[in-house]
Amino acid sequence: MLEPRPTGELSQTLAQRLTRIYGDQASLPKLLNVIEARAKQYKGLDASSWDQSDIILITYGNSLVSEPKPPLQVLSQFLNKRLSETFSAVHILPFFPYSSDDGFSVIDYRAVNYKLGDWKDVGDIAGNFDLMADLVCNHTSRQSLWFIDFINGEGEGKDFFVESDPAADYSAVVRPRTSPLIVDVYTREGVKHVWATFSDDQIDLNFANPDVLIEMIDILLEYIVRGARYIRLDAVAFLWKELGTNCIHLGETHEVVKMMRDIFTWLDPGLVLITETNVPHEENISYFGLGDEAQMVYNFALPPLILHGLNRGNASYLTRWARSLPPFPKGCTFLNFTASHDGIGVRAVEGIIPKHEINDLIESVHQFGGFVSMKANGDGTKSPYELNISLFEALQGTRNGPDTFQIPRFLCSQTIMLSLQGIPATYIHTLTATPNDLEQVELTGRTRSINRHTWQYEELESLLDDPATNQNRVFELLTKVIQKRRKQPAFHPEAPQQVLALSDTLFAIVRGDEETGMILCLHNLTAYPHEVHTIEKVPEYFTGGPCLDLLSEQEISLDTFELTPYQCAWIIAK
């Protein structure tokens, strides 16, 4: 148990935050009481900072099932058996009781969904891996007790939701969905109209009421007390509503995130706050603040850039974007990923990839069995929001159609992600080369279900043990790459990164420095061999003698080295 810490300096900081949000600090005593009570329960972390060994697995609590064992116990068994040397952390997507959206319409924030297991099962996983948990802070389920309070007009939640006039002008509001923003609710006091950014089952919380903020801080700290190191703030960009604005990234929202960071820094510097904001890139990285906001932001531009590059055999957009990235604020980094439980968002590459090339990519996704989800614009039009497809299926070919390079192309996508500055996160269905689940799409009526397959544990184990399957080949090759990465200090999240503009078909970066050692990371994005000796501008550090490719474990000379189709190399000087 950590020694109690004085709250004097924290109190001053929180008072300033509350004044910026609400115009006064009247709720400070109540907020401090919540923080102090949770701090007394907190035992502390083993780790105080991140390094190159930090790799996150993303999974649902029931991505693996084997009745009658609770799914969280099945997941724990799989992690301990196959992934203890590969991942340092596990992001269990919302494991709470819910009513829709596969967990993101939370009924009870403080309970574990009994269909998955219980808090002990969560704790068992947190005992072997760093735990990442979701704080679904923008909205809650219609079936939550808070919303029942709202309907009855009494109880804790009666003022927890955003009421609004359906006749008001909402044309400026930015939304990721096409469903109605304002929905009708029948209450004891008659029909009321509430804000629902994502669906009519996900009712937005009213953070203009400080009691909502304090309740969310308490829930956040309960997750930390129960073993979470990383907290993902789901859909946080939409937190604050103010009619007449776009209701996204408002100043009050940023102040709330900064307040959470203040509390983390005070409680334990090893805790990590992550914002999930699927928006254009410049808006996304605004959540770093000046190094005083989220320590990590999801790198939403990366998945579509990698998919686009491999679809066209062209690394130029990926290279240009990577070269343009400003240095991270101190203590901040990206959460890099290529796929997740959601689709591959395309908003993050607005202004980076031309619209006609995005349309070409959408055509390929349709050809490979996927879908595209749309968002509503303020002028009544719709535009692409995300691509819904299994990443393994999305890389079965290029814009020219399917071919025989699916596995090397897929592994290239993962190696690019693992090479870049940041902390990598791998979705379980990427690791297991899961195909499109069209049956689940038909069953749920939701296109996102295409990439949310539930594996029967015994079936997956059989596939992973069979060298003839895609699951075995991808799993074995990818876990080996990850394990090699975890041993290289040059891949520390804060190690330098230099992006080289060498070729339109090659993505090349140098990681590290003379202190950590330097690694030249080469990635061939085409189905054609690439002679490395024709490339200029390779740093002299790698050209003075023999080198070693860490991935193939072969000694090479850059004068004669040739990358095969979709081959990647991590090259060190010998």
Query: Catalytic site residues?
Result: 234
Contact at 8 Å (CB) between 163 and 194? yes
Please name the residue that has the structure tokens 């990234």: 249
- Both tokens of 449, joined, read 């279900």
Looking only at the bridges linking them, the beta strands covering 89-92 and 130-136 are parallel
Query: Using the 8-state DSSP alphabet, how is residue 334 labeled?
Result: E
- Both tokens of 234, joined, read 């789901």
Q: CA 484 to CA 125: how far, in whole Å?
A: 24
Q: CA 10 to CA 21: how far, in whole Å?
A: 16
Rounded to the nearest 10°, the torsion over CA 414, 415, 417, 422 is 130
Q: CA 525 to CA 462: how far, in whole Å?
A: 32
Q: In what order do the strands lie in the sheet with 517-524?
A: 497-503, 506-513, 517-524, 568-573, 547-549, 554-556
Looking only at the bridges linking them, the beta strands covering 455-456 and 139-141 are unpaired
Contact at 8 Å (CB) between 170 and 76? no
AA identity, residue 262:
D
Looking only at the bridges linking them, the beta strands covering 455-456 and 64-65 are parallel
Q: For residue 26, with 0-12 CB atoms within 10 Å meaning exposed, 13-18 middle and 19 or more buried, which class applies?
A: exposed
Q: Which of 510, 19, 24, 62 lies closest to 255 in space, CA to CA? A: 19
Determine the 3-state secondary structure of 444 from DSSP: helix
AA identity, residue 30:
K
Peptide bond into 68 cis (omega under 30): yes
How many alpha carbons lie under 13 Å from residue 35 in its C-beta half-sphere?
26
**Which element (helix H / strand E) includes 49?**
none
Terminal Cα distance for the chain, rounded: 47
Contact at 8 Å (CB) between 349 and 305? yes
Q: CA 324 to CA 501: how far, in whole Å?
A: 12
Per-position DSSP letters for 374-402, written without gaps between them? EEE-TTS-EEEEEEES-HHHHTSEETTEE
